[in-house]
A and B are shown apart, each in its own frame.
Chain A
Amino acid sequence: MHSKVKLAAAAALMAWTWGSGTALAGHDGVQVDPALKRYAGQVTALGMPDEQGRIYSFQAKRLPAAPAYVPDELRGWRLTMLAGKRFAQAFEVQRNNGSEISVSPLDGPLNGVAVNDVFVMENIAIERASSRQ
Chain B
Amino acid sequence: MRRAARLAACLAFFCATGAVAQGARIPAEVVDAFHMALRKKDTAGALSLLDRSLLVFEFGAVDPTVEAYAFRHLPFDMDVAVATQWKLETRHVGGEGNERWVLSTYRVTGKQADGAPVDQTMLETVILRRSGDLFRIVHFHWSSSDPAFQARAQRQRTQGETR
Contact = CB atoms under 8 A, between A and B. Distances in A.
Contacts of B48: 88
Interface residues of B, number: 50
Interface string B80-114: 11111000000000000000000000001010111
A17 B76 contact: yes
Contacts of A17: 72, 76, 160
B156 A34 contact: no
B36 interface: no
Interface residues of A, number: 43
B43 A78 contact: yes
A6 B160 contact: no
Interface in B41-98: 41-44, 47-48, 50, 52, 58-59, 61, 64-68, 70-73, 75-84
Nearest to B114: A31
Interface of A: 3, 6-7, 9-14, 16-18, 22-36, 38, 40, 78, 80, 82-83, 87-90, 118, 120, 122, 124, 127, 132
